Amino acid sequence: MSGLLAYVSRRLAVTFLILLAVSFAVYLIFAFLPFDPATLTCGKNCNDPGIIEANRIRLGYDKPFYEQYWVFIVGLFAGRNYGEGAAAIHCAAPSFGYSFQQHACVTDLIGEALPVTLALAIGALVLWLILGIGLGVLSARFRGRVLDTASTIFVLIGTSLPTFLTGLMLIIFVVIKWHLLPFPAGGYSSPFEDFPGWLNTMILPWITLAFAYAALYTRFVRSQVIETSTEDYIRTARAKGLSEGLILGKHTLRAALAPIATMAGLDFAGLMGGAILTEAVFNLPGLGRLSLGAVLDYDLPIIVATTLLAAAIVVIMNLVLDLVYAFIDPRVRV
Amino acid sequence: MSLLSVHDLRVEFATPDGIVKAVDGISFDVERGETLAIVGESGSGKSVSNLAYMGLLPKGKTKITGSVTLETDNGPVELIGMEPEDIRKIRGKDIAMIFQDPMSALHPFYSIGDQLVEAHQAHNKVEKSVSQERAIELLTLVGVADAKERLRAYPHQFSGGMRQRVMIAMALMNNPSVLIADEPTTALDVTVQAQILKLIADLQKKFKMAVILITHDLGVVAGAADRVNVMYAGKLVESASVDELYAKPKMPYTVGLLGSVPRMDRPHEDRLTAIPGQPPSLMKLSGGCAFAPRCTRKSEVPGNKCETTSPELIQISTGHYSRCHLYEGKTK
Ligand SMILES: Nc1ncnc2c1ncn2[C@@H]1O[C@H](COP(=O)(O)OP(=O)(O)OP(=O)(O)O)[C@@H](O)[C@H]1O
Ligand SMILES: [Mg+2]
Residue A102 has pLDDT above 70, yes or no: yes
Distance from CA of A232 to the nearest CA of B (A): 5
Residue A307: pLDDT band (50, 70, 90) is confident
The answer, yes or no, to whether any atom of ligand 1 lies below 6 A from the CB of B216, is yes
pLDDT mean over A54-73 = 83
Dist. CA B215 → ligand 1 center (Å): 14
Residue B67 · residue B57 · CB < 8 Å: no
Minimal Cα distance from B105: which residue of A? A233
Contact A243 B108 (CB under 8 A): no
pLDDT mean over B131-153 = 95
Dist. CA B194 → ligand 1 center (Å): 26
Residue nearest to atom 9 of ligand 1 (CA): B48
The answer, yes or no, to whether any atom of ligand 1 lies below 6 A from the CB of B95, is no
Minimal Cα distance from B54: which residue of A? A239
pLDDT of residue B85: 94
Partners of B68 in beta bridges: B6
Backbone angles phi, psi at A216, to 5 degrees: -60, -45
Contact A235 B105 (CB under 8 A): yes
The answer, yes or no, to whether any atom of ligand 1 lies below 6 A from the CB of B58, is yes
Residues whose beta carbons lie less than 5 angstroms from ion ligand 2: B 47
Residue A88 has pLDDT above 60, yes or no: yes
pLDDT of residue A44: 65
Please check whether residue B119 touches A, CB under 8 A.
Answer: yes
Residue B279: pLDDT band (50, 70, 90) is confident
Please state whether beta strands B210-215 and B18-30 pair in parallel, antiparallel, or not at all (unpaired): unpaired
pLDDT of residue B272: 45
pLDDT mean over A18-44 = 80
Secondary structure (3-state) at B240: strand
Top pLDDT among A171 and A222 is at A222
Minimal Cα distance from A143: which residue of B? B60
Contact A232 B93 (CB under 8 A): no
pLDDT mean over B122-145 = 96
Please check whether residue B116 touches A, CB under 8 A.
Answer: no
DSSP for B94-137 reads: TEEEE-S-HHHHS-TTS-HHHHHHHHHHTT----HHHHHHHHHH
Cβ atoms within 10 Å of B198's Cβ, excluding its own: 12
Residue nearest to atom 12 of ligand 1 (CA): B22
From B13, B232, B284, mutation site for ligand 1 pocket: most ligand atoms within 8 A of C-beta: B13
Q: Which residues of B touch A239 (CB under 8 A)?
A: 54, 56, 91-92, 96-97, 99
Please state, in angstroms and rounded to a whole number, the distance separating the CA atoms of residues B169 and B176: 11
pLDDT of residue B271: 46
Residue B198 has pLDDT above 50, yes or no: yes
Instruction: Name the helix (H) or strand (E) containing A235.
Output: helix A232-239
The answer, yes or no, to whether any atom of ligand 1 lies below 6 A from the CB of B43, is yes
Q: Which residues of A touch B56 (CB under 8 A)?
A: 235, 238-239
Dist. CA B29 → ligand 2 center (Å): 20
pLDDT mean over A129-155 = 91
Please check whether residue A196 touches B, CB under 8 A.
Answer: no
Nearest CA to B211 out of B202, B241, B219 is that of B202
Residue A31 has pLDDT above 80, yes or no: no
Please state, in angstroms and rounded to a whole number, the distance separating the CA atoms of residues B72 and B70: 6
Residue of A143, A145, A229, A233 to mutate for B, most B C-beta atoms under 10 A: A233
Residue of B50, B72, B103, B107 to mutate for A, most A C-beta atoms under 10 A: B107
Residue A315 has pLDDT above 90, yes or no: no
Taking the model in full, what pTM does it have?
0.83
Residues 6+ apart with CB under 8 A from A296: none
Residue A179 has pLDDT above 50, yes or no: yes
Residues 6+ apart with CB under 8 A from B259: B274, B275
Backbone angles phi, psi at B331, to 5 degrees: -70, 150
pLDDT mean over A26-51 = 76
pLDDT mean over B35-52 = 94
Q: Is A302 exposed, middle or buried (0-12, 13-18, 19+ CB in 10 A)?
A: buried
Which 8-state DSSP code applies to residue A34? S
Contact B118 A240 (CB under 8 A): yes
The answer, yes or no, to whether any atom of ligand 1 lies below 6 A from the CB of B42, is yes
Q: Which residues of B touch A255 (CB under 8 A)?
A: 107-109
The answer, yes or no, to whether any atom of ligand 1 lies below 6 A from the CB of B47, is yes
Nearest CA to A247 out of B164, B84, B99, B173 is that of B84
Residue nearest to atom 5 of ligand 1 (CA): B13
Contact B123 A241 (CB under 8 A): yes
Minimal Cα distance from B101: which residue of A? A232
Compute chain A's Rg from CA coordinates.
24
Which 8-state DSSP code applies to residue A180? S
Residue B100 · residue B138 · CB < 8 Å: no
pLDDT mean over B55-74 = 92
* Average confidence score pLDDT of chain B: 90
pLDDT mean over A174-196 = 79
Top pLDDT among B285 and A314 is at A314
Residue of B48, B110, B123, B173 to mutate for A, most A C-beta atoms under 10 A: B110
The answer, yes or no, to whether any atom of ligand 1 lies below 6 A from the CB of B100, is no
Residue B237: pLDDT band (50, 70, 90) is very high
Nearest CA to A286 out of A127, A98, A56, A124 is that of A124
Secondary structure (3-state) at B22: strand
Minimal Cα distance from A325: which residue of B? B109
The answer, yes or no, to whether any atom of ligand 1 lies below 6 A from the CB of B280, is no
Chain A segment 228-257 residues within 8 A of B by beta carbon are: 231-233, 235-244, 246, 251, 254-255
Residue nearest to atom 8 of ligand 1 (CA): B48
Cβ atoms within 10 Å of B140's Cβ, excluding its own: 15
Residue of B50, B88, B109, B182 to mutate for A, most A C-beta atoms under 10 A: B109
Share above pLDDT 70 across residues of chain B, in percent, rounded to a whole number: 95
pLDDT mean over B118-137 = 96
Residue B257: pLDDT band (50, 70, 90) is confident
Interval A268-297: pLDDT, tens: 998 887 788 888 888 889 999 999 988 888
Number of A to B CB contacts under 8 A, please give it.
76
Distance from CA of A287 to the nearest CA of B (A): 39
Top pLDDT among A323 and B96 is at B96
Residue A162: pLDDT band (50, 70, 90) is confident
Top pLDDT among B235 and B216 is at B235
Give the ligand at the shortest distance from the Cα of B283: 1
Distance from CA of A250 to the nearest CA of B (A): 10
B233-264 residues labelled b (16+ CB within 10 A) or e (exposed): bbbbbbbbebebbbeebbbbbbbbbbebbbee
The answer, yes or no, to whether any atom of ligand 1 lies below 6 A from the CB of B20, is yes
